[in-house]
Structure 1
Amino acid sequence: IKNIEKHIKPAVLGLSALEQEALDNLLIEMDGTLNKSRLGANAILGVSMAVARAAAQSEGNPLYAHIGGDEAVTLPVPMLNIINGGAHAAGSTDFQEFMVVPAGFDTFREALRSGVEIYHALADILQARGLSTSVGDEGGFAPPLDDNRDAVALVIEAIERAGYSPGEQCFIALDVAASELDKDEYPSDKLIGIYEDWVGNYPIVSIEDGIAEDEWGDWQALSSAIGGSVQLVGDDLFTTNTELIRKGISMNAGNAVLIKLNQIGTVTETLDAVRMTQEASWGVVISHRSGETEDTTIADLAVGTNAGQIKSGAPARGERTAKYNRLLRIEEELGDRARFAGRQVYQNVLGGS
């Protein structure tokens, strides 16, 4: 806050909020570091986001329409993290996130409703087995499980318990967070073998950070092995950085990018990363962070860029549900113009990979 008041405010006061790129470039230039460490990434991002909201308000438009204009009508498929493991939940699975992906519906409202019902069905299953229903950082349950495969089986059971069809209405996504795994226990070739087996036997549509961030060659091997049948998302690999995204595209390392506003630090750089990813016909997943607030910008960003996918945790805890509630309101505002990305978003990614 001190940097905003002392350094940023005098520099931007009186400038037009409609000049987002110029303002963001000014902030980057003022900071002068590669990682925005002088002024602070959160200070710069806070101002950048405020500029975008001010511009939208001055136009009389919601933020998503300011970002994407008349074409901003696509509601994203929610990727709901209902089982937490890894660094997000001590004592649970090695893999970090097991998500339910309700892509087989006609509207966002229907998709979210199914996700909520599956979440509560999972709670009932865990309680019936005497397992903990405490939640991890992102609102998902963190039961003590012997094997990662047990978590996948639980998600499928919860989908069925809620009355939905795995592989037709609801699918599964993983965030392995492979950089956090013991490389002796989980070498890349072993992980690739696990994924090949799972993708062949379970309705998995997306795997995030399936290989450690510094293993570019192994990412290529993963893409060659299963990139034609499942979305392979880079988070730690790309860090919303256009230079790294460009490298990944040229090397065919993955076929989708996780986009985090505060990973790169300005609205302009975030939109550049989305644009580059979409131009390569790769998938885009707009994402929250493990530590979150009730700010809903990423919901508008997902619609404004027609990203097609959003990660905002489980349908629990206010900082997670705020984004989902915002998307419900956007769908209502759009009315008959609203479209739900649905299963097509994954078909598009696989067709382009």
Structure 2
Amino acid sequence: MSVIQNIIGRVVVLRGGMYSVEVDVATDEGFGRFASPIEENPMLHIAEARRAVSEVDEIIGPELIGFDAVEQELIDSYLWEIDGTEDFSHIGANTALAVSIAIARAAANSKDMSLYSYIGGTFATELPVPIIQFASDENFEYYILVRDLLEVTDIVDAVNKIISEVGNKVSIEELSKASESVGMELGLEVALGIKMKRELEIEDVLNIVEDNNVAYIKPLGPPELFLELIAGTHGVFIDGEYLFRANNILDRRYYNALSIKPINLGTLTDLYNFVNDVKSEKITPILAEAKYEPADDTFPHLALGLRCPAMLISWNSVEKINELNRIAEELGERGRIITFEE
């Protein structure tokens, strides 16, 4: 057993200068810590972060002392009971996530296991492909992905070379040319990802994907756009995040990939169940960062443990890239970076 002895919270600063709650969980055999990210339009300023800390110290912590940390589903279910609402509007989704993952880390630590092995088991050996957001203009946010990574650092080399080649001339045409030339230089299949920042005509979107080196797109628009993209493209990942959030559509006929932000789900159990729901629809789950993230190395462990083939991160998330590299080193010959293809 790994009996919870103490749970404490503290205020933590996130990327972008926002505040959230960090949770420490101490058991009789292990220790875990996690700082929760927050999504866009955050209400969690310093006063709210302090309120979240009070929730952890005065309500959640005392309720969970004595639980065995390995009973993740039971504890996560009890967090919902403590909250008493349908959307964690009382204690906050960020607070619930921080407590849940800190407990999982404590349980893994008590067993002297990496978090990814604790979550995913013996066969959690397929490393997620990083999709890195690194630039934007008035129409798109831009990502780089390397479909056939040999080493984690290949993606860093690709982004650096593309930034150097493009300079200040950020456009989809320039980035498309640069990604193709850098791919030839490195001997890798380097491609673009794009996230639409405004709606465009369906035909224009189809032409953009067809005429440029685009392997991943996060569309913005009506269901008809997604249907046309699925029908009119081959080997391109169509990310349905907008359609799922706007229309609650989880359907392979509309899209073949879905970026999933842990902060939108609640507990680790909720995240685990939703990823499996997505897989059951034969949709590729992509673990995605929130807008405001902590300097924390948990994210790649979640992606690997949940067996998400890719993870969507920003260029300044170096702690996540470094941790993925450490995991690859730890796995050695057991580890395999998958070829990220539809």
TM bracket (short chain):
0.7 to 0.9
Query: Which structure features the higher share of helix residues?
Result: 1
Instruction: Tell me, yes or no, if the aligned pair for 1:98 and 1:151 is still in contact at 8 Å.
Output: no
**AA at the equivalent of 1:110:** D
Equivalent in the alignment of 1:199: 209
Q: 1:249 aligned to 248, 251, 256, which one?
A: 251
- SS of 1:107's equivalent? coil
> Which stretches in structure 2 are left out of the alignment for 5+ residues?
1-52
Shift of 1:301: 1.0
Q: Against the structure 1 CA distance between its residues 27 and 237, is the aligned structure 2 distance closer, same or farther, given a 3 Å change threshold?
A: farther
Q: Against the structure 1 CA distance between its residues 325 and 204, is the aligned structure 2 distance closer, same or farther, given a 3 Å change threshold?
A: same
Q: Against the structure 1 CA distance between its residues 163 and 307, is the aligned structure 2 distance closer, same or farther, given a 3 Å change threshold?
A: closer
In the TM superposition, what are the counterparts of 1:21-60 in structure 2 within 5 Å? 21-60=73-112
- SS of 1:346's equivalent? coil
The answer as to 2:213 corresponding to 1:218 is no
CA RMSD of aligned residues (A): 2.5
Query: Which structure features the higher share of strand residues?
Result: 2
Shift of 1:328: 0.5
Instruction: Report Cα offsets for 1:112-134 as digits up to 9, x if no partner.
Output: 33233333444xx22xx6xxxxx
- SS of 1:306's equivalent? coil
The answer as to 2:150 corresponding to 1:106 is yes
Aligned length: 290
Instruction: Tell me, yes or no, if the aligned pair for 1:105 and 1:111 is still in contact at 8 Å.
Output: yes
Identity of aligned residues (%): 27
Shift of 1:78: 1.3
Equivalent in the alignment of 1:93: 138
**Which stretch shows the higher mean deviation, 30-39 or 65-74?**
30-39
**Which stretch shows the higher mean deviation, 283-292 or 229-238?**
229-238
Q: Against the structure 1 CA distance between its residues 227 and 272, is the aligned structure 2 distance closer, same or farther, given a 3 Å change threshold?
A: farther
Shift of 1:195: 2.4
Q: Against the structure 1 CA distance between its residues 25 and 299, is the aligned structure 2 distance closer, same or farther, given a 3 Å change threshold?
A: same
Q: Against the structure 1 CA distance between its residues 166 and 257, is the aligned structure 2 distance closer, same or farther, given a 3 Å change threshold?
A: farther
- SS of 1:99's equivalent? strand
Q: Against the structure 1 CA distance between its residues 162 and 224, is the aligned structure 2 distance closer, same or farther, given a 3 Å change threshold?
A: closer
- SS of 1:271's equivalent? helix
The answer as to 2:321 corresponding to 1:324 is yes
Shift of 1:4: 0.8
CA distance in 1, matches of 2:143, 2:226: 24
Equivalent in the alignment of 1:159: 179
Equivalent in the alignment of 2:63: 11
CA distance in 2, matches of 1:16, 1:219: 48
Equivalent in the alignment of 2:193: 173
> Which stretches in structure 1 are left out of the alignment for 5+ residues?
85-91, 130-149, 348-353
Equivalent in the alignment of 1:146: none
